């Protein structure tokens, strides 16, 4: 199944290290990040899950729930968590999905046969509070993900979902944003009272409106 931006995120029920969950019910009215890792007891994945555990408060601030997945089982997941906690000096505080039958991996197209016929690639899906897919990123198994970048993108997604703006290259929370071309010049003062700069007719910037 090929998923695209704007598609409804497929729902599923799964066994996790924190009990059985229904994905949509688990997310509730919040946002979600679903990310896969190739296998348990692997070095890069160990650092990734430890990093996410340390950043969980940042995801919480953004009303985002995180879930990890691999095609290994619950026993391996739970034993591996002990290693993650020990080596990464943290406590894993989010669910790891057991997907031994690969149903969820196939539902989200996480297995790429030209990379591996069995293991999932490093897929990332950001799901909005409308249960629609807002972001898809795929990394090879050899490259660990940048979760600071993922938080930056979530900041952009949440900002642009509620305001008529886009974020420029390398934007970080707190910096100026771009006014959408669909907003007429004469409507800008009322919509963006903090002021704006007109660099080109199609390039107009304003201070971040939700700060």
Domain that holds residue 66: 13-144
* Longest CA span, the chain: 62
pLDDT of residue 119: 65
Residues 68 and 134 placed together within one structural domain of the fold = yes
pLDDT of residue 28: 97
Cβ–Cβ contacts within 10 Å for residue 198, how many?
A: 12
* 156 domain-assigned: no
Residues 137 and 182 placed together within one structural domain of the fold = no
pLDDT of residue 44: 94
CA angle 124, 88, 43 (to 5 degrees): 60
pLDDT of residue 120: 65
pLDDT of residue 128: 98
Residues 122 and 200 placed together within one structural domain of the fold = no
Alpha carbon 18 to chain centroid, angstroms: 20
Closest CA to 89 of 121, 124, 47: 47
Residues 139 and 184 placed together within one structural domain of the fold = no
User: For 64, what's the count of Cα atoms within 13 Å in the CB-facing half-sphere?
Assistant: 27
Could you give the CA distance from residue 4 to residue 6 in angstroms, rounded to a whole number? 6
Residues 45 and 135 placed together within one structural domain of the fold = yes
CATH number of the domain that residue 94 is part of: 3.40.30.10
Low-confidence ranges of the chain (pLDDT < 70): 1, 112-121
Residues 139 and 173 placed together within one structural domain of the fold = no
Residues 25 and 129 placed together within one structural domain of the fold = yes
The one catalytic residue in 21, 27, 33, 45 is 45
Both tokens of residue 146?
A: 């940048």
Q: Decide: 149 and 176 in contact? Cβ < 8 Å.
A: no
How many structural domains compose the chain?
Answer: 2
Could you give the CA distance from residue 14 to residue 73 in angstroms, rounded to a whole number? 11
Residues 196 and 107 placed together within one structural domain of the fold = no
CATH number of the domain that residue 174 is part of: 3.30.1020.10
Residues 78 and 115 placed together within one structural domain of the fold = yes
**Residue 45: active-site member:** yes
Residues 137 and 201 placed together within one structural domain of the fold = no
Residues 118 and 21 placed together within one structural domain of the fold = yes
């Amino acid at each position: 199944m090929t998923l695209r931006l704007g598609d409804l995120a497929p729902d599923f029920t799964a066994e996790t290290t924190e009990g059985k969950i229904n994905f949509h019910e688990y997310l509730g009215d919040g946002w979600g990040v679903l990310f896969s890792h190739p296998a348990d007891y692997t070095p890069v994945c160990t650092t990734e899950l430890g990093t996410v555990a340390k950043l969980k408060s940042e995801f919480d601030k953004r009303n985002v729930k995180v879930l990890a997945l691999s095609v290994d089982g619950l026993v391996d997941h739970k034993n591996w968590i002990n290693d993650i906690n020990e080596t990464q000096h943290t406590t894993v505080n989010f669910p790891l999905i057991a997907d031994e039958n690969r149903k969820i991996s196939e539902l989200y197209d996480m297995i790429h046969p030209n990379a591996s016929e069995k293991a999932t690639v490093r897929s990332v899906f950001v799901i909005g509070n409308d249960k629609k897919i807002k972001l898809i990123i795929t990394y090879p198994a050899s490259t660990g993900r940048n979760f600071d970048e993922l938080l930056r993108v979530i900041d952009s997604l949440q900002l642009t979902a509620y305001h008529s703006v886009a974020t420029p290259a390398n934007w970080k929370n707190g910096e100026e944003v771009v006014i959408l071309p669909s907003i007429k010049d004469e409507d800008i003062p009322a919509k963006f009272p903090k002021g704006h700069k007109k660099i080109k007719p199609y390039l107009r910037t304003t201070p971040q409106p939700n700060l």
